[in-house]
Every structure is written in C-alpha cells, then in structure tokens.
Structure 1
Amino acid sequence: MEMVDVVVVGAGLAGLRTARSLAEQGFDVVVCERRGDLGVGIRTTGIFVRRTLVDFAVPDRHLGPAVRRVVLYPPSLRGPVEVVSERDEFRVADMEGMYAHALAEATAAGARVRLGVAYPSTEVTGRFTIGADGARSTVARRLGLDTNRRLLIGAEEVYPVGGGGTPTFHCVVDPRLAPGYLAWVVDDGHHAHVGLAGLPERLSAPLPKLLRAFRAGFPDLPEPAGPVRRRGGPIPVGGVLRRIACPDGLLVGDAAGAVSPLTAGGLDPCLRMAELAATVTGDYLRTGDADVLRHYDGAALRARFRVRLLLRDALSLVRGPAAAEAAFTLLRTPPGRSAAARVLFGDGSFPDVPARL
C-alpha cells in the first residue's frame, strides 16, 4: 500500500480545493473519489453568492447570468413578496464544468486524483485524512468525529429554457410540500432549477411525487427547452459540527456541517473552510504539534450562526399553511422586507478565515 502525506476523501469542491492548497504547499496528496465520473451524482443546485464571487476566482465561463430578484411565495401563491438588490447577488453554475475546472486545478498543483476508488482504500493511506465525503461522512465515523444528525432531503430538476425575462429566484414556503424548508425555481434565462427539500420524517409523499405536484401548481414555471437532469440528496442544516478535527484527520464541506442552517447554502462555506483546513493541516504536518488543530475549531465557527440556528428552529416549527400565510403578513411590512433582504443579500454568509495562522 502506498503511503502519502494526505488522503482527501471526496472530489467535490471542498475536497479538490483542500487538495490543491495542500499540494501547493508541497505535500504529497491523493484524492480518493468513489465516483468514476465527477459529472455523475451532482447534488447541489450550484448557487454562488456575491461574496464568494468577490473573494474567489470562480471561472466566469461556468456561471449563468446574474440574479438580483427574489420572489417569496406563501402556500396560496397569492400576495408574494418581492425583494430586489441593487447588486448582482447570485449566479448559478454549471457544476459539471465547475468540478472539471477544480479537478484540473488540483491536478496542476500536484495532487493526484483517483476516481473510482472508495474509502477506506487498499491502494493508498495517509499520515492525515481529510473527509470531504458529504453529509453522511464515513471519514467522520472512522475518525470518531462528530456527524450530521439534522438533515433535509432534496430533489431537483435542471433543464435549459428559451430565455427572456428577468433572472429570478422564486421561493415557495409551503410545509405541505417542503416541511422545514422550501420549494424553489431559479430561472436565470439560460437554465431553470426546479426543486424542493424538507425534513424527511415529515414529507407527506416521495420526493418525485411532491416535485410533480409543485411543478403542476406553480404558475411561473418555465417550460423545458431541452433534456431534464435530476439531482437530489441530503443537506445538513444543523450548523458546523463541534468536533471536526483530531490528530488523524479533519472534515470539510458538508461532512463538517459547513452549510448555512437557514438558507442551506454550502458553496461559500465549503471554499472558505477548505482554505482554513489546508492551512491548519499544513502547519500540523510540518510541526507535529497537535495544538495547531485548535485553530480548526468547529464550536467557534458554530457560534457565529446562533441567530440562523434559531431561525432554522422557527422554520421547522411551521407545520401548516395557515402559519406560513400568517408569517407572510409580517414579511409584507417594511421591517419584514428588510429582514428578508438581509438574509438573502447579506455579507455574513460565512465567517472569514485567516490565510495563514
């Protein structure tokens, strides 16, 4: 069996970004990915927020048109709340292209990526293991780290559309369709992403059936102009896990619970935590000082999300359409619109992390 400095498990954006950063520091890094093709099994909608686009070199060729307009709908779909930003707030990525780009960057930096290799592997082992293997992380369990226990389950359809109109992010809050979360349509004029997610124990029917019901009842849904691709999977919304590092390894991305508890956005935190993880891992491997790992403190990161965790609890308590309709009465007021704009367009999606410790 081959011994290397670091084995990264999972070739999503978090894993590939961490591998690239460690390889740039001169470490021998191997990425193990059980999928044989990174274009298969994509789960994320691929929404990049403004703050990510400002702070990271996200390739423009893989991004759709900018979205500034968000429309929030109650269960009745009557009296929606529209919030429009003066800035470009969201862009939806072609995630297949984004993964290919991240793979090329990691490989160019010197990381070796092995597709079709599951963890644990009989081919390679490392001095340190980084779990970037998703919401139900095998690495977390094997290293005795915390695991995600609060999950939504989501399903989505993606297809090209004819274009025209204002790029818009539609969000429908209806606990009958999406208990504890929402249904969405992101139409940027090039592609439509139509999906929903909810607490699995409270879903009233299988996700494909609920998605069909949503499609049938939503009047602003664009018609497909090409083939439909389907996605789905678990979304951790319990906040960053407290214990995400030990002397044998650490967790990044969904495996670490690095997803906004309220909005379920995970691409911004996955990139920021990947940078921090690579910094901490590099310093630890160079010094052998386990005290370095305290800089990768999930409890400290989690503390930054107290308000959003409370809002997550509040959203989970909305169990009927009447309560959702009542909440929209408040959203239609100036303070309600201001609060919605702050959540949707705010700069505090995830804490800044140091470039070096």
Structure 2
Amino acid sequence: MRSGRRAHSIWRAVHQSDGAREWHALPDGAQACYLVGADGPKSHVAKTLSLGENRHFIFGMEHEYGGVDFDASDRLHCFIDKRLAPGYIGWIIAGVGVTQVGLARRSGVGGIAEAKTAMTAFLKKLAPIADFRDCAPTNVRAGLIPCGGLVSPLAAPRALLVGDAAGMVSPVTAGGIHTALRHGRAAGVAIADFLNGRKADPAQWLPVSYPRFRLKRALRWSYDNFQSDAAFNLLLRSSAMRTAASVVFFHRMRAR
C-alpha cells in the first residue's frame, strides 16, 4: 500500500491494491477507478503518490491592458534582457480586446517581489515604443512554468500525470497548452478503454508517447548558462535567425 496526505489536508489520496481490485480513496468516502494528476506544476497528486515532481521553473508575470494606443495585432514583440528576464524573454502581444505585456525569468533569481520589480523596470524600458506606465492593468497573471522536461516516474498503477504536472512543457518556449490537450485527450481515451477491458492500464504504456524534449533541454541549458544580449542583437539582424524565431513561436500544427 502506498499513501500520502497533503499538508493541511484539503484532500487525501490513498492508493491500495486488494487482489485484482485497485482503487483510490478520495474525499467524503468517494472512490475512483483511476486518478489523473492534471493539477499544475506543483502537483499534489504527484507528491501524494510519490511520483516525479518538477524541480526547474520559470516564473512568469503578465499584465493585460485595455484601450491602450498600441497596435500589436500582427506581431509577437519579444524582448531579451539578461538582467530583467534571465533565462527567458519579455513580450507584447495582442489578446482578445486587450494588449498583453509580460516577462518571465528563471525561478530562483529572486522571488515574487523581485519579479514585480523587474516588471516595473520592464514597463519603463518599453516606454519609448509603448508606454503602459500610467495604465492600470485590467488583469494580472503570474505563476510558475516548469522548464526541466518530463518528471520521473510519470505513473503508478491506475494513476497518471499529464500536462504541467508531468513537466509536459517546452523547456525553450515554455509552451504546453497544445501538448497537454493532445496527450490529455489520449489519456482520457486510453483510460476509458482500460476501464472497459479493451486495453491494459495506460500507466504501463502511455507515458512512452510523451515528448522527451531532448534537444530543447539542451537548448535550455545553453540559454541558462550562456545568455548574451549582445549576441542576440547581432543574430536578430539575420534573416536566418528571424526565420528560426518564427518557426519556434508560430510553427504550424500538423493537420489531423
């Protein structure tokens, strides 16, 4: 038997094996035949079931502004600054009825207070091209983004991690929505097939299909250790680098 309890006990999960019958005990005496950990980068499901946990993060912060005099409709504006956004970038992009301005930085380079200070400095730096300093954001988002690749282990009998909980996020771009949706859907179908007796427990085979990010993890290590604003300024003058950036941020999803 393997069991665990979250601190302050908002919920409890217990994995037991009773002959051929396995189940997870959940709050209020409810029972589940299968448990999916899709509960974010600091997964309590992973911790409770002694599965792999994310160890490396980017901390991102984004403001949304409505009614500002800046047209970002056809561009993703990226800003590289090793001091303000070490390990990642700052950006301006058009949202739905708003303009989104944000930055992300390697977690461990100070905490939330330092990220807020960096955001203030970033807005000041942007002012010559887009001045948001006197605008009150309509919404502010902030949080951790895993950037270390897949965790290990990813599954236990009748339990499976997906999405951010699994580290299923590109270590380079920090993008994970499409991957999480694709593999989350695959997990749902596989679990349904398993519970209907058509396939083996997906915990045994589905994680093999998860992206490994081998090249992107190497690129993440290189960027963390050798980030150079001067080098990027020179490279961005080349058409090859601009083409590569377009592929990274705007690659086309394969037709289904």
Instruction: Please tell me the TM-score bracket, short chain as reference.
Output: 0.7 to 0.9
Match of 1:170 in 2: 77
Q: Which residue pairs with 1:334 in the alignment?
A: 239
Residues 164-213 of structure 1, C-alpha deviations (whole Å, 9 max, x = no match): 63513211111101111111121358312121111122249611111011
- Aligned-partner Cα distance in 2 for 1:179–1:164: 26
Q: Secondary structure at the match of 1:276?
A: helix
Change (3 A) 1:189 1:166: farther
Cα displacement string for residues 16-38 of structure 1 (whole angstroms, at most 9, x for unaligned residues): xxxxxxxxxxxxxxxxxxxxxxx
User: Separation in 2 of the partners of 1:306 and 1:233?
Assistant: 25
Query: Match of 1:221?
Result: 130
The change in CA–CA distance for 1:165 and 1:198 in structure 2 (over 3 A counts) is: closer
Query: RCO (CA 8 Å, sep 6+): is it higher in 1 or 2?
Result: 1
Letter in 1 for 2:190: V
- 1:284 lines up with 2:194 in the alignment: yes
Residue of structure 1 equivalent to 2:177: 267
Distance in 1 between residues matched to 2:70 and 2:109, nearest whole Å: 37
Aligned residues of 1:155 and 1:233 also touching (Cα < 8 A): yes
CA root-mean-square deviation? 2.8
- 1:140 deviates by 0.7
Q: Is the 8 A contact 2:172 2:217 kept in 1?
A: yes
Give percent identity, aligned residues only: 33
Distance in structure 2 (CA, Å) of the matches to 1:207 and 1:166: 24
Greater Rg over alpha carbons, structure: 2
Matched length: 230
Aligned runs of 1:303-342 on 2, under 5 Å? 303=212, 305-319=213-227, 323-342=228-247
Q: Could you tell me which amino acid in structure 1 is paired with residue 172 of structure 2?
A: L
Q: Which letter does structure 2 place at the counterpart of 1:211?
A: M
After TM superposition, the score normalised by the length of structure 2 is 0.78
Paired residue type of 1:287:
G
Under a length normalisation based on structure 1, what TM-score does the superposition of the two structures give?
A: 0.58
Pairing 1:345–2:250 present = yes
Encode CA deviations 1:238-269: one digit per residue, 9 max, x unaligned: 12334322213111211111212111112111
Structure 1 counterpart of 2:59, which letter?
Answer: I
1:302 corresponds, among 211, 221, 225, to: 211
- State the 1:133 CA deviation: 0.8
Distance of 2:237 and 2:193 partners within structure 1: 50
Give the drift of 1:288. 8.4
Which runs of 5 or more structure 2 residues have no equivalent in the other structure? 1-8, 13-25
> 1:46 aligns to what?
none
User: In structure 2, what is the Cα distance between the partners aligned to 1:188 and 1:250?
Assistant: 33
SS state at 2:121 partner: helix
* Match of residue 182, structure 1, among 89, 93, 96: 89
Could you tell me how far apart the structure 2 residues matched to 1:352 and 1:279 are?
Answer: 20
